[in-house]
Structure 1
Amino acid sequence: MRDKLIIGRMIPTGSRVHELDPRAKIAAMLLFTAALILSNGWPQLAALAILSILVLTATKIPAKTYLRALRPLRWLMLFVFLFQLIAGAGNGAVNLSAVEPLLWSWTWGPFTLTSAVLSSALLAVSRMALLIVFTAMLTFTTTPSMLSRGVEGMLKPLSRKGTGAERFSLMMRLALRFIPALLEEAQTILKAQAARGADYEEMKLKEKARLLLSLLVPVTVGAFRRAEELTTSLEARGYRIGAPRTAYRQLIWRSADTWFTLLFALLPVGALLMRLTL
Structure 2
Amino acid sequence: MRDKLIIGRMIPTGSKVHGLDPRAKITAMLLFTAALILSDGWAQLAVLALLAAAVLAATKIPPKTYLRTMRPLRWLMLFVFLFQLFAGPGAGSAEASTAATALWTWTAGPVTLTSAGLSAALLAVSRMALLIVFTALLTFTTTPSMLSRGIEGMLKPISRGGTGAERFSLMMRLALRFIPALLEEAQTILKAQAARGADYEEMNAKDKARLLLSLLVPVTVGAFRRAEELTTSLEARGYRIGAPRTAYRQLAWRAADTWFTLLFALLPAGALIMRLVS
TM-score in terms of structure 2 length: 0.95
**Residue 106 of structure 1: SS of its match in structure 2?**
strand
Q: In 2 relative to 1, CA 271–228 (structure 1 residues): closer, same or farther, beyond 3 Å?
A: same
The CA deviation at 1:90 is 4.5
Cα RMSD of the aligned pairs, angstroms, is: 1.6
| Distance in 2 of aligned mates of 1:93 and 1:36 | 31
Question: Which residue type is aligned with residue 234 of structure 1?
Answer: L
Would the alpha carbon gap of residues 254 and 97 (structure 1) be closer, same or farther in structure 2, given more than 3 Å must change? Answer: farther
Query: Is the deviation greater in 24-33 or in 75-84?
Result: 75-84
Aligned partner of residue 248 in structure 2, secondary structure: coil
Aligned residue for 2:208?
208
Give 1:118-133 correspondences, 5 Å limit.
118-133=118-133
Alignment of 1:228-239 (within 5 A): 228-239=228-239
> Cα deviations across residues 166-207 of structure 1 (Å, max 9, x unaligned)?
000000000000001000100000000000101111111011
Q: Deviations over 1:93-121 (max 9, x none)?
A: 856987xxx24442223211000000000
Aligned-residue sequence identity (percent) comes to 84
Contact 1:5 1:72 in 2 (8 A): no
The answer to whether the 8 A contact 1:189-1:215 is kept is yes
Residue matched to 2:111: 111
Q: Structure 2: which amino acid aligns with 1:128? A: M
- Pair 1:126–1:23, CA change in 2 (3 A): same
Between stretches 82-91 and 150-159, larger displacement belongs to 82-91
Name 1:217's counterpart in structure 2: 217
Taking the aligned partners of 1:94 and 1:5, their CA distance within structure 2 comes to: 48
Q: Aligned equivalents of 1:235 and 1:144: distance in 2?
A: 22
- Separation in 2 of the partners of 1:162 and 1:93? 57
**What residue in structure 1 maps to residue 260 of structure 2?**
260
Q: Distance in 2 between matches of 1:180 and 1:94?
A: 51
What is the aligned residue count? 275
Is this contact kept in 1: 2:2–2:184, CA < 8 A? yes
| Secondary structure, counterpart of 1:91 in structure 2 | coil
CA contact (8 A) 1:20 1:257 kept: yes
TM-score (norm 1): 0.95
Tell me the residue number matched to 1:244. Answer: 244
1:234 shift after superposition: 0.7
SS of the residue 1:188 aligns to: helix
Which residue identity does 1:76 align to in structure 2? L
Structure 2: give runs of 5+ residues left out of the alignment: none
Number of the residue aligned with 2:71: 71
Look up the match of 2:38. Answer: 38
- Is the 2:25–2:138 Cα contact (8 Å) retained in structure 1? yes
Displacement after TM superposition at 1:276 (Å): 2.3
Cα distance, 1:103–1:164 mapped onto 2, change above 3 Å: same
2:34 partner amino acid: A
